[in-house]
Amino acid sequence: MANGISLSTAETITSAAFAKAAELGLKPLTVVVLDAGGHTIILKRQDGSSNLRPEIATGKANGALAVGTGTRWLNANAETRPHFVNALNGVAGGNIIPVPGGVLVRNEAGDTLGAVGITGDTSENDETCAVAGIETVGLIPDCG
């Protein structure tokens, strides 16, 4: 795991995120875990999660990787610097969702190992579940 997120770790992150959602009584979620290069390690949808949720979750995780911090930062910049976020999303081919729920995964040395993107409930609840999943495996969430 020093060099990245294993499939086993990604499975634990998604399971813990779903457990947190159940605890909070949230709507059905979709969770994606990407490696540091933006490649999908795992993507899981709960029953009842709507059809574009995989793309939204991936867009949140991609956004976090693109700016090197969680998508809470992108959300703030979408309000104060919409031209920047629009240009960034254009360069990314429209594959960035600039709202909370995209969380970087870091190790204790501060290295970026990947990102988690969650969608299905409010952005804040999505982010809460991502943080819970990441913390469960002893890694450090960066929400922005």
With 0-12 / 13-18 / 19 or more C-beta atoms within 10 angstroms meaning exposed / middle / buried, residue 39 is exposed
This prediction has a pTM of: 0.96
Structural domain contains residue 2: no
Edge-to-edge strands, sheet with 102-106: 40-45, 30-35, 112-119, 102-106, 140-142
Structural domain contains residue 96: yes
- What is the span of the domain harbouring residue 127? 7-142
Structural domain contains residue 15: yes
Structural domain contains residue 1: no
Q: What is the CATH number of the domain that holds 111?
A: 3.30.450.150
Structural domain contains residue 72: yes
Give, for all 144 residues of the chain, the pLDDT tens digit: 457 999 999 999 999 999 999 999 999 999 999 999 999 999 999 999 999 999 999 999 999 999 999 999 999 999 999 999 999 999 999 999 999 999 999 999 999 999 999 999 999 999 999 999 999 999 999 998
**Total of domains in the chain:** 1
Interatomic CA distance for residues 104 and 119, integer angstroms: 15
Structural domain contains residue 67: yes
